[in-house]
Amino acid sequence: MGFQIALCNYQVFLSFRGPDVRDSFLECFHDQLKGAGIVAFLDHKEIEYGERIDDKIVEAIKRSYICVPVFSEDFASSPACLMEVAQMVESDKTILPIFYGVEPSVVRYQRGTYENSFAEHERKNRYPDSIEKWKAALGKIAGKMGPTFKNVNGGYLECLKDFVSKLRKLLRMDEQDVTENLVGIDRDMPEMMRKLGFYEDEQVVKEREMTGRWVLAVWGLPGVGKTTLTKVLYNKISHLFEGCSFLENVREEIEEKRVVSLQNRLIRDLKGGGDSSIVESPNQGTKMIRQLFKESRVIIVLDDVDDFEQIKPLAELTWFGPRSRIILTTRRKDVYQIQRSEDQVISYKHDHEILPMNENHALELFRKCAFGLNHPPKNYDKMSREIICAIENLPFAIDIVGRYLNGKNENIWRQTLDDLKGELQEKVERMLEACYKLLGKKAREIFLDVACFFTRVEKTMPFYM
């Protein structure tokens, strides 16, 4: 019984003529793909020797997101390679060619060795019904831009790194998962983009002409949607940078003494993949981040930070190249402190407060989560409004409660509403306590003084309380 191709999608399908492509090039290319976390199909790795490969190759191409033919001098002498490129075109795949020791024009117009190979196929009457289809496929693919390696004896590492980085962006591997139920993001998104120097023109993100480095603190109450909005923003603009990283739950990770893990993740992200463990101590990590990326234009998100000490071992703005951006999600607008730069590049700090949803947006989000539509049964409308009021229009809570109630009967809805109303006072107290702990010592004293100024109580009393 023959082996079956695993029921999964490959991210990249590699097509090449083995005898032409030096082992060192193929090994280097495959290592770069693997280091970047890209799952690639190579026929000599994926198919058992002695089996018929035609059907499996066709299936692998169909299951791949991007196809990369490596055109070499004698590529056209292989009917198998020609079948593969024809299948790529027929399957309407995204195709990124590499030209290895051969000029693109030779492939596109079937000159030189390609002309000779086709003449040989025709002389031996090989695949007469396929010749024109193969030629058309070569012409179409070779008309696309791709790296050309004239020197096949070495010196291709940096170019391959750039190529693999392009593959990652096309595969959208750096994008963050965002809920399908996005509601009301247009209220904040244009202003957040403006504060980072970007704008949208007919759904195309463009960058304003500017210099310096920029940091944006996205702040607001817990559960108000800071992380979700920042993920949407990150997905819109991250492809415009040389390196990008989104580190979630930074405060929790640092409290659990996982600074080194965060540093390794940051380095790996900004390099576009690589070794899973690079540094072994926080000091080593800080030095390496500064050294590796001091000339790089990067975007970094540090999610859920509430103290500058949590930011310092990971990403100070002055460590990175001009026009870099750092985005923070936080409960404090003043969490970041601008440091002086030795290269005289100006750093800019902005903040953006995320407020709770208005009632209409909150109701729309709740209906999507609870019913899968924006027009629920009439007998649930009043309870829906009472529920979003009880959870104060906070998107995170709306999503959880809405999904829980999806498909539940009316009795469970009423019980849930009663429970939410009963927990409201306790929830407000927890939120106030969390915000109070973020204040400095003097601010805490002022807060307690103000809190203790009860109606008709002598104003000297709070001093003694």
Q: What is the CATH classification number for the domain harbouring 215?
A: 3.40.50.300
Are 305 and 225 part of one and the same domain? yes
Q: What is the pLDDT of residues 410-444, one digit of tens each?
A: 899 988 888 887 765 565 566 566 666 666 677 77
Are 56 and 135 part of one and the same domain? yes
Does residue 177 fall inside a structural domain?
no
Does residue 253 fall inside a structural domain?
yes
Q: What residues are annotated to the active site?
A: 84
Kindly state the helix (H) or strand (E) to which residue 331 belongs, with its residue range: none
What six digits make up the tokens of 53?
């490969």
Are 145 and 87 part of one and the same domain? yes
Report the percent of the chain where pLDDT is more than 90.
43
Q: What does pLDDT average to over the chain? A: 84
Are 381 and 330 part of one and the same domain? no
Phi, psi angle pair for 96, to nearest 5°: -120, 105
Are 164 and 246 part of one and the same domain? no
pLDDT at 4 over 60: no
Does residue 218 fall inside a structural domain?
yes
Are 221 and 328 part of one and the same domain? yes
Contact present, 215 and 316 (Cβ < 8 Å) = no
Q: What is the pLDDT of residues 186-213, one digit of tens each?
A: 899 999 999 999 988 877 788 888 788 9
Are 232 and 380 part of one and the same domain? no
Please state, in angstroms and as integers, the Cα–Cα distance from residue 364 to each residue in 220, 239, 273, 358, 384, following that order.
Answer: 21, 31, 39, 10, 10
Q: What is the pLDDT of residues 302-329, one digit of tens each?
A: 999 999 999 999 999 899 999 999 999 9
Q: What is the pLDDT of residues 364-388, one digit of tens each?
A: 999 988 888 766 677 788 899 999 9
E-only strand ranges, 92-162: 94-95, 98-100, 148-149
Q: Which domain holds residue 394?
A: 359-450
Report the percent of the chain where pLDDT is more than 70.
84
CA 171 to chain CA centroid, nearest Å: 10
Phi, psi angle pair for 428, to nearest 5°: -65, -40
Are 396 and 264 part of one and the same domain? no
The residues with which 298 forms a beta bridge, in sequence order, are 243
- Structure-model confidence comparison of residues 450 and 41, the more confident one: 41
Does residue 346 fall inside a structural domain?
yes
Domain end, chosen from 306, 330, 353, is at 353
- Structure-model confidence comparison of residues 169 and 120, the more confident one: 120
Are 345 and 377 part of one and the same domain? no
Count: domains in the chain = 3
Runs of H (alpha helix) within 152-301: 157-170, 189-195, 226-237, 250-255, 259-271, 282-292
Are 280 and 414 part of one and the same domain? no
Q: What is the CATH classification number for the domain harbouring 35?
A: 3.40.50.10140
pTM to 2 decimal places: 0.70
Q: What is the pLDDT of residues 323-359, one digit of tens each?
A: 999 999 999 888 888 776 666 667 888 999 999 999 9
In terms of DSSP bridges, do strands 298-302 and 325-330 run parallel, antiparallel, or are they unpaired? parallel
The three-point CA angle 16-23-73 to 5° equals 45
- Structure-model confidence comparison of residues 253 and 451, the more confident one: 253
Contact present, 32 and 274 (Cβ < 8 Å) = no
Are 339 and 385 part of one and the same domain? no
Are 164 and 65 part of one and the same domain? yes
